[in-house]
Amino acid sequence: MAGAVVIDPFGPPRNRRSERRLAELEALGEADADVLPKLLRLESGFVETGRFGQARNLRPVDVDRLLRDGRRRWLEGFGFLAETLAAARKDIVETLKAHHRGQARCARPAAGAPARRPAEALAGAGVQGAARPGGARPRR
């Protein structure tokens, strides 16, 4: 193997010939400055920065420098494109809104309606002794 170059020392044990893996290997064959944009545009959409730096023999500051070029972002050890993070944030916010819209117990009182204290709400629900000082006590 004289003159060979290892482009991915952390190859997966399975699915080595899948289209996704072949596209990843093609991107890894590029120079350091060109590889990150290609990897970030693949289906996975992220790069594990520690593993990437170790595979490319780069110091963490060099990986950070590569990530700061262009519209790339670092988040908790992973590199992303800025638009990937923005799309993920939008999806999370929309999912949370939809979830909370369907939760009756999370509904706020109507505008202008008097707010009820928790003890009054419990008393209205039939919990005995909830509205008296000291709260509800079990029956003996």
| Nearest C-alpha neighbor of 85 from the set 36, 93, 95 | 93
pLDDT exceeds 70 at position 130: no
Burial code of 59-87, b = ≥16 C-beta within 10 A, e = fewer? eeeebeebbeeeebbeeeebbbbeebbee
Could you tell me the two tokens for 140? Answer: 């003996």
The per-residue pLDDT for 90 is: 93
Provide the mean pLDDT of the chain: 77
pLDDT digits (tens, 9 = 90+) for 4-30: 878 888 888 888 888 888 888 888 888
The per-residue pLDDT for 35 is: 87
pLDDT digits (tens, 9 = 90+) for 47-102: 888 988 888 889 999 988 888 876 888 888 888 888 888 888 899 999 998 888 87
Q: Are 77 and 49 in contact (CB under 8 A)?
A: yes
Residues 6+ apart with CB under 8 A from 116: 109, 124
- Average the pLDDT over 97-117 and give the result: 67
Could you tell me the two tokens for 126? Answer: 């039939």
Residues 6+ apart with CB under 8 A from 6: none
C-alpha dihedral (33, 39, 45, 49), degrees to nearest 10: -60
Q: How confident is the model at residue 131 (pLDDT cuts 50, 70, 90)?
A: very low
